[in-house]
Amino acid sequence: MAGDKHRRHIICLALITALCLTGDSMLYIVLPLYYREAGLNSLWEVGIILAANRIVRLPLNPPVGRLYALISERTGIVAAVLLATAATSTYGLAASFPVWLAARCLWGAAWTLLRLGSLFCILRVSTPDNRGSYTGLYNGLYRLGSLIGMLCGGIVADAAGLRGTALLFAAVTAPAVILALLLIPAGKPIRRSPGAGAGAGLRVCLRTAGTLRIAAAGGIVALVIQGILASTLSLLIAAHTGGGVPIAGVLVGAASLGGCFQALRWAWEPWLAPLAGKLADRSGGRGKPLYPAFAAAGLLAAALAAPLPLPLWFACLLGMQLAATALTTLTDTAASNAAARGGGQSMLVIYAFAADAGMAVGPILAYAVNEISDINAVYIFSACLLFLYFLRYRKSALPC
Cα separation values, 271 from 133, 206, 220, 231, 278, Å: 11, 35, 24, 24, 11
Identify the bridge partners of residue 246 per DSSP, sorted by sequence position. 251
DSSP 162-176: HHHHHHHHHHHHTTH
Which amino acid is residue 310, in one-letter code? Answer: L
Quote the number of domains for the chain: 1
Tens-place pLDDT, residues 133-154: 888 899 889 988 888 887 788 7
User: What is the structure's pLDDT at 104?
Assistant: 95
Q: How many CB atoms lie within 10 A of CB 199?
A: 11
What residue type is 63 in one-letter code?
P
Give the model's pLDDT for residue 38.
Answer: 84
Output phi, psi for 247, to 5 deg: -125, 120
Asked whether 80 and 117 are in contact (CB, 8 A), the reply is yes
Whether 157 maps to a domain, the answer reads yes
Distances from the Cα of 211 to the Cαs of 123, 218, 336, 351, 382, in angstroms? 16, 11, 10, 9, 23
Helix (H) / strand (E) containing 244: strand 244-247
400 is a domain residue = no
State residue 194's pLDDT score: 42
Report, as ranges of residue numbers, the positions in the chain whose pLDDT lies below 50: 193-198, 398-400
**Residue 40 within any structural domain of the chain:** yes
Please give the model's pTM, rounded to 2 decimal places: 0.80
Buried b (16+ CB within 10 A) or exposed e, 26-41: bbbbbbbbbbeebebe
What's the mean per-residue pLDDT of the chain? 83
Task: Report if residue 257 sits inside a domain.
Answer: yes
Residue 155 belongs to what domain range? 2-184+197-393
Residue 21, pLDDT score = 93
Residue 195: the pLDDT is 43
* CA 300 to chain CA mean position, Å: 19
Distance CA 191, CA 306 (A): 50
CATH of the domain at 229: 1.20.1250.20
Q: So what's the pLDDT on residue 400?
A: 44
- pLDDT of 20: 95
